[in-house]
Structure 1
Amino acid sequence: MIPYRTIEETDDSIETLYEIQKSKFITHLRHVDSEEDARAFIQSMKKKYFDARHNCSAYVLGESADKQKSNDDGEPGGTAGNPILEVIRKNDLTNVVVVVTRYFGGIKLGAGGLIRAYSHAAVLGIEAATVLAMTPFIQLNEVVSYDLLATVEHWMRQKEIRSLEADYAENVILHLLIEPANLEAVKAALTDLTAGRAALTTGDESLIAIPADS
Structure 2
Amino acid sequence: MSLKDTYNTIAAPSAEILYKEKNSKFFGYAFPVTNEEEIKRHLEQLRKHHHGAVHFCYAYQLGTETLTFRANDNGEPSNSAGMPIYGQIQSFGVTNILVVVVRFFGGVKLGVGGLISAYRTAAEMSLEASEIIEKTINIHFLISFDYKNMNKVMRVIKEKNLDIISQKMDESCQIEIATRKKNAENIVDIFSNLFEIEIQKI
Task: Using structure 2 for the length normalisation, give the TM-score.
Answer: 0.65
Tell me which residue corresponds to 2:12: 9
Q: For the residues of structure 2 that align with 1:44 and 1:136, how far apart are their CA atoms?
A: 29
Q: For the residues of structure 1 that align with 2:26 and 2:56, how far apart are their CA atoms?
A: 9
Fraction of identical pairs, as percent: 38
Over 3 Å counting, the alpha-carbon distance change for 1:136 and 1:69 in structure 2 is closer
Q: For the residues of structure 2 that align with 1:95 and 1:89, how far apart are their CA atoms?
A: 12
Q: State the SS of the aligned residue for 1:41.
A: helix
Tell me which residue corresponds to 2:170: none
Where does 1:37-186 land on structure 2 (aligned, <5 Å)? 37-64=38-65, 66-135=67-136
Q: For the residues of structure 2 that align with 1:39 and 1:32, how far apart are their CA atoms?
A: 10
Q: State the SS of the aligned residue for 2:95.
A: coil
Q: For the residues of structure 1 that align with 2:123 and 2:114, how far apart are their CA atoms?
A: 14
Q: State the SS of the aligned residue for 2:16.
A: strand
Asked if the contact 2:61/2:95 (under 8 Å) is kept, the reply is yes
Q: For the residues of structure 2 that align with 1:47 and 1:65, how far apart are their CA atoms?
A: 32
Equivalent of residue 161 in structure 2, options 189, 192, 203: 203
Task: Using structure 1 for the length normalisation, give the TM-score.
Answer: 0.62
Asked if the contact 1:7/1:130 (under 8 Å) is kept, the reply is yes
Q: For the residues of structure 1 that align with 2:7 and 2:26, how far apart are their CA atoms?
A: 28
Asked if the contact 1:14/1:30 (under 8 Å) is kept, the reply is no
Which stretches of structure 1, 4 residues or longer, exceed 2 Å deviation after superposition? Answer: 200-207
Tell me which residue corresponds to 1:142: none
1:7-61 per-position Cα deviation (integer Å, ceiling 9, x unaligned) = 0035xx5311101111110011211111111121112212221211211111111
Q: For the residues of structure 2 that align with 1:64 and 1:122, how far apart are their CA atoms?
A: 24
* Post-superposition offset of 1:130: 0.3
Q: State the SS of the aligned residue for 1:14.
A: coil
* Post-superposition offset of 1:77: 0.7
* Post-superposition offset of 1:62: 0.8
RMSD of aligned residue pairs (Cα, Å) = 2.1
Letter in 2 for 1:58: A
Asked if the contact 1:60/1:68 (under 8 Å) is kept, the reply is yes
* Post-superposition offset of 1:65: 5.7
**What runs of 5+ residues in structure 2 fail to find an aligned partner?**
139-157, 163-178, 182-202
Q: For the residues of structure 2 that align with 1:9 and 1:106, how far apart are their CA atoms?
A: 34
1:81-139 per-position Cα deviation (integer Å, ceiling 9, x unaligned) = 111111101111111111101111111111011001000000000000000011479xx
Q: For the residues of structure 2 that align with 1:65 and 1:109, how far apart are their CA atoms?
A: 36
1:56-76 per-position Cα deviation (integer Å, ceiling 9, x unaligned) = 111111113611011111100
Q: For the residues of structure 2 that align with 1:9 and 1:40, how far apart are their CA atoms?
A: 16
Letter in 1 for 2:7: Y
